[in-house]
A and B are shown apart, each in its own frame.
Chain A
Amino acid sequence: DIQMTQSPSSLSASVGDTVTITCRASQAISNDLGWYQQESGKAPQRLIYAVSSLQSGVPSRFSGSGSGTEFTLTITSLQPEDFATYFCLHLNTDPLQYTFGQGTKLEIK
């Protein structure tokens, strides 16, 4: 099975900062990886799919990159509404496996 390690588990930053969150896979994986934002008590929302494609309506300060075993979500110029939990999700088709990162809680410093 593919193991996904997301880091950091929590992150403290200020409005205007740039932050990077990483998902590392235990083996090289396909680019079927997306990033999601989840505000406390709410449904997750997709930010990015296929590593780097921005969901329509999502601000351009969110970006994704990576390949192989390491994938990153970068948020530039943090806004107050960005303080939430973020997680990655990967689909492996053979064998079928959906793997989530453990989440990163982004808090205001």
Chain B
Amino acid sequence: QVHLVQSGAEVKKPGASVKVSCQASGYMFSDFAIHWVRQAPGQRLEWLGWINAGDGNTKYSQNSQGRLTLTRDTSASTIYMELSSLTLEDTAVYFCARDQGWYVTGWFGFDHWGQGTLVTVSS
């Protein structure tokens, strides 16, 4: 059974960095990409970036480029999201999600999600 388990809530001051983990189990870790998505209060979900768990390649959204770093530890089947230079606007619930990939004619989408990690940025 596939599980994505995220680390716990964080409270940070403006200008600090936060690192959230997403530990995968129940499948071959290297076979799937993992995305990070966030939801600020009252806002729609926002895609931040993804990492290929197999080769470590990453792709970031324009909004997160330069502040977001995704890494992986294959020995621990864990993906890490680090967001730097935090502002109040980074307060959100952060989710990791597994990308199921592509079939013959289309995209499967995100088939499993982590439980979410609340990151609060407050002075």
Interface residues of A (CB under 8 A from B): 30-32, 34, 36, 41-46, 49-50, 55, 87, 89, 91, 96, 98-103
A and B contact pairs by CB, cutoff 8 A, 29 listed: A30-B106, A32-B106, A41-B116, A42-B115, A43-B95, A43-B113, A43-B115, A44-B97, A46-B111, A49-B106, A49-B107, A49-B109, A50-B106, A50-B107, A87-B45, A89-B109, A91-B107, A91-B109, A98-B35, A98-B37, A98-B47, A98-B61, A100-B45, A100-B46, A101-B44, A102-B43, A102-B44, A103-B44, A103-B45
Q: How many residues of B contact A (CB 8 A)?
A: 25
By Cβ-Cβ distance, the 10 closest A-B pairs, closest first, are: A98-B47, A43-B113, A34-B109, A32-B107, A100-B45, A102-B44, A50-B106, A49-B109, A100-B44, A49-B108
B60 shortest CB reach to chain A, Å: 10
CA distance A100 to B100 in the complex (A): 17
Q: Is B27 an interface residue (CB 8 A)?
A: no
Most buried by A among B44, B95, B97, B114: B44
Most buried by A among B45, B47, B97, B111: B45
Given A87-B44, A89-B109, A100-B47, the answer on whether A43 and B59 have CB atoms closer than 8 Å is no
What chain B residues lie within 8 Å of A43 (beta carbons)? 4, 95, 113-116
What chain A residues lie within 8 Å of B4 (beta carbons)? 43
What chain A residues lie within 8 Å of B107 (beta carbons)? 32, 49-50, 91
CA distance A103 to B39 in the complex (A): 11
CA distance A15 to B103 in the complex (A): 36
CA distance A50 to B106 in the complex (A): 6
CA distance A32 to B101 in the complex (A): 11
CA distance A103 to B43 in the complex (A): 9
- B43, B110, B115: the one contacting A46 at CB < 8 Å is B110
